[in-house]
């Protein structure tokens, strides 16, 4: 991913699309057709495939990664969580990803189990999670970043997560705060992360502050690293209320009132939603960045809203740019 970003012309834009593995074979067939259509029409720089907590979707995530990477020829990034995952499961996922030709991993902690349940499981054998050796446990995303670097050197390009409005976790009762997260984000970057991808947000001022804070951070860890803001297309009124509540992303009052005005009309919600997200993208496009500007779209496996936003904000690359990245894919192995 970072090789492809580095090969883009200065000042240009790129985007990625996120997909999750469907539960049923009917869902998989539908997604396959959609992915094929979307990748041809929209030409993302790369796609990402989500990972279920504790490895719950391991097989299906790898199947989807195979479809994207091998069959559709898309540069693919596999999300991988590490909490509640034994080293054995992590190793298998990384080996399988490598065997499929996947070169990119988004290294995540995953959501921890509820603390009481967690404590009970720890108490089962007194020295670790039931069914896991103590040394098998990964606690934070940084443990996974270090592990991937130790085991695979530079084979994988590694991304890590960041939270423009701070990460909401029961571990810090003082509430979500970017300042709390920053030392750990520095740690993940210094441990070998190549790019940063953010949680969804609608508060563009909070995003501006976040990116400025990172770029100017005293450690110098974020001076040039690609920071890719996460965009959530608005598919319905209920969905955006639920998603922002779960992700602890603030919906600014002017956005709530624009959505409230049309909340009885699903088509209008989608239309206003396209306006809102396009305005956020356009705002960020105008801000200076040390390299090409990227955007990550949480598609929820849906096609229309993201396509309208990409068109509206001129993010769909021209054929020329696509050809340049094709040349890069061929020339990189020849050079190394
Ligand atoms: P970490 O970087 O480990 O941080 C977690 C929290 O702990 C933060 O509050 C941090 O400040 C704090 N912290 C970190 N290290 C320490 C330390 N040493 N001591 C004390 N506190 C510390 N989840 C999935 O299950 N599957 C997915 O596919 C998935 N994809 C995602 C994609 C993106 C772009 C993002 C932003 C999130 C995604 N998530 C996914 C959610 C993610 O797993 C959760 O948000 C999780 O709770 C935190 O993961 P992390 O990698 O940010 O953790």
* pLDDT tens-digit profile, the chain (336 residues): 999 999 999 899 999 999 999 999 999 999 999 999 999 999 999 999 999 999 999 999 999 999 999 999 999 999 999 999 999 999 999 999 999 999 999 999 998 765 555 444 444 444 444 444 445 579 999 999 999 999 999 999 999 999 999 998 766 666 789 999 999 999 999 999 999 999 999 999 999 999 999 999 999 999 999 999 999 999 999 999 999 999 999 999 999 999 999 999 999 999 999 999 999 999 999 999 999 999 999 999 999 999 999 999 999 998 755 555 544 444 444 333
Is 0.95 exceeded by the ipTM? yes
Identify any residues that bridge with 14 across adjacent strands, giving them in sequence order.
Answer: 294
Catalytic residue among 18, 66, 165, 211: 18
- Rounded (5°) CA angle 117-119-122: 110
Among residues 299, 329, 327, 283, the alpha carbon closest in space to that of 42 is found at: 299
Report d(CA 185, CA 227) in Å as an integer. 12
Structure token digits, residue 134: 């103590």
Asked if residue 67 lies in contact with residue 32, where contact means CB atoms within 8 angstroms, the answer is yes
Q: Hey, which of 80, 108, 198 would you mutate to test ligand 1's pocket, going by the most ligand atoms within 8 Å of its Cβ?
A: 108
Atom 2, ligand 1: which residue's CA is nearest?
141
pTM (two decimals):
0.91
Task: Report CA(158)–ligand 1 centroid distance (Å).
Answer: 14
Report d(CA 55, CA 142) in Å as an integer. 18
Among residues 85, 31, 17, the alpha carbon closest in space to that of 60 is found at: 31
Q: Hey, which of 17, 107, 140 would you mutate to test ligand 1's pocket, going by the most ligand atoms within 8 Å of its Cβ?
A: 140
Structure token digits, residue 67: 């479809």
């Amino acid at each position: 991913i970072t090789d492809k970003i580095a090969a883009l012309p200065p000042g240009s834009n790129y985007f990625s699309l996120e997909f999750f593995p469907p539960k049923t074979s009917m869902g998989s067939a539908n997604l396959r057709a959609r992915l094929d259509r979307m990748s041809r029409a929209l030409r993302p720089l790369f796609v990402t495939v989500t990972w279920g907590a504790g490895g719950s979707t391991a097989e299906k995530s790898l199947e989807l990664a195979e479809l994207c990477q091998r069959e559709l020829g898309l540069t693919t990034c596999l999300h991988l969580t590490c909490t509640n995952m034994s080293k054995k499961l992590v190793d298998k996922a990384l080996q399988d990803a490598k065997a499929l030709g996947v070169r990119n991993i988004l290294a995540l902690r995953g959501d921890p189990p509820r603390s009481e349940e967690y404590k009970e499981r720890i108490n089962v054998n007194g020295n670790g999670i039931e069914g896991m050796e103590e040394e098998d446990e990964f606690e934070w995303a940084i443990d996974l970043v270090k592990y991937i670097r130790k085991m695979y050197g530079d084979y994988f390009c590694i991304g890590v997560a960041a939270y423009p409005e701070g990460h909401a976790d029961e571990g810090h009762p003082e509430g979500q705060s970017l300042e709390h997260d920053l030392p750990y984000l520095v740690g993940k970057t210094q441990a070998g992360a190549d790019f940063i991808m953010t949680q969804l947000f609608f508060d563009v001022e909070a995003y501006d502050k976040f990116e400025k804070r990172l770029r100017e951070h005293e450690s110098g860890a974020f001076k040039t690293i690609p920071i890719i803001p996460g965009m959530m297309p608005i598919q319905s009124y209920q969905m955006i209320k639920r998603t922002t509540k779960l992700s602890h992303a603030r919906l600014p009052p002017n956005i709530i009132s624009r959505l409230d005005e049309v909340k009885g009309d699903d088509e209008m919600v989608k239309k206003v939603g396209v306006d809102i997200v396009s305005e956020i993208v356009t705002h960020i496009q105008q801000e200076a960045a040390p390299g090409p500007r990227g955007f990550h779209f949480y598609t929820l496996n849906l096609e229309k809203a993201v396509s309208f936003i990409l068109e509206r904000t001129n993010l769909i690359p021209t054929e020329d740019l696509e050809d340049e990245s094709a040349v890069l894919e061929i020339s990189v192995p020849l050079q190394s």
